[in-house]
Amino acid sequence: MNISNILGWCGIISGLGGMLAWMIFYQLSINYTQKHLTTLCQKIYGNKHFFVGKLGMTEFLLLGSVACAVFINYHFLYKRGKNIKINRKQYPTLTKKNFLFIVQNHYRWLIMNISSLFFGFSWMIFSSLFFYLSKKFT
């Protein structure tokens, strides 16, 4: 086996492994979001009936973007003593009190959304990189 074959197999393994990890964390975050939808919508949008029934893909991605914003603000700004920066026009009821409530009571949701985002990007980037290097060393 030469270096090209090894890099090709690394691309296949990282692609399948990353895709599998992304699907698991994505499904876990969807299940958690569906179970706690009313409290999350109450704290983020001020209306616990903002989303009714099952979430579609766009609604879930919207809530996932809020989770990423809250997670990043908490770890990079709030823990260092700086003020949080959330778009007040888009999320007018996401005050500091609601922000801390989400972090304290739904931290698992934040972790699952960030992990899903990380595995989704790493799956695409690393498998593409390995396939590119495999083709380059041919």
Q: What is the reported pLDDT for 16? A: 93
> pLDDT confidence of 94, banded at 50, 70, 90?
confident
Q: Is the pLDDT of residue 90 over 80?
A: no
Q: Are 67 and 114 in contact (CB under 8 A)?
A: yes
Choose among 80, 67, 55: nearest CA to 107.
67
> pLDDT confidence of 111, banded at 50, 70, 90?
very high
Dihedral sign of CA atoms 116, 23, 35, 53 in order: positive
Q: HSE of 83 in the Cβ direction (CA atoms, 13 Å)?
A: 4
> pLDDT confidence of 51, banded at 50, 70, 90?
confident
Domains of the chain, by residue range, sit at 3-136
Least confidently predicted of 14-23, 68-77, 89-98? 89-98
**Measured CA distances, 78 to 17, 60, 71, 85, 92 (Å):** 34, 25, 10, 9, 19
Q: What is the reported pLDDT for 13? A: 93
| pLDDT above 90 coverage of the chain, percent | 40
Cβ–Cβ contacts within 10 Å for residue 54, how many? 10
Q: What's CA 51's distance to the chain center, in Å?
A: 19
Q: Tell me the pTM.
A: 0.81
d(CA 19, CA 12): 10
| pLDDT above 70 coverage of the chain, percent | 100
